Amino acid sequence: MSVLLAVKMDLAIPAGAGLEAVNGAFPIEGAYRMLELPGLQWKIWGTDMNKKEACGFYLFATMEDAKRRAAEVVGQLQVRPGISNVTTQIWELDAEKTRITHGPIDVPKISDLPK
């Protein structure tokens, strides 16, 4: 049973700053580190520059994997300059309805994919 972890945070970025300011807080190397997370099936990254917020949505293979990441991510992000108010939520999925609407939940863990 896959579960969804949602992570949201506030960004202290200067008015008029673009996505390059966000990329400074979240360098591309971080995306590659996500590939090593136990049980991760995928991650989606998002930003709302008007609200000065960023988010991440993770699909994990198990509740334990999602809880482990939720506990880690708050501490990891809160110490970064310009990031505050990090919150997490874990959601159980309604697999039947998600499959009807073609939600991408029947995917392998990244660690199970060929390298």
pTM given for the model? 0.89
Q: What is the spatial distance between Cα 70 and Cα 103, in angstroms, rounded to a whole number?
A: 22
Burial 86-110 (b: 16+ CB within 10 A, else e): bebeeeeeeeeeeeeeeeebeeebb
pLDDT in tens, 4-46: 999 999 998 776 666 677 777 788 898 999 999 999 999 999 9
Domain count, the chain: 1
Helix (H, G, I), strand (E, B) or coil at 108: coil
pLDDT in tens, 45-62: 999 888 999 999 999 999
Domain holding 79, by residue range, is 3-112
Q: Comparing 64 with 17, which gets the higher pLDDT? A: 64
CATH code at position 38: 3.30.70.100
Would you list the DSSP string of 8-68?
Answer: EEEE---TT--HHHHHHHS-HHHHHHHTTSTTEEEEEEEEETTTTEEEEEEEESSHHHHHH
Judged by phi (left if over 0) then psi (alpha if -120 to 50, else beta), residue 71 lies in: alpha
**What is the torsion angle, in degrees rounded to the nearest 10, for the CA atoms of residue 79, residue 52, residue 86 and residue 21?**
-30
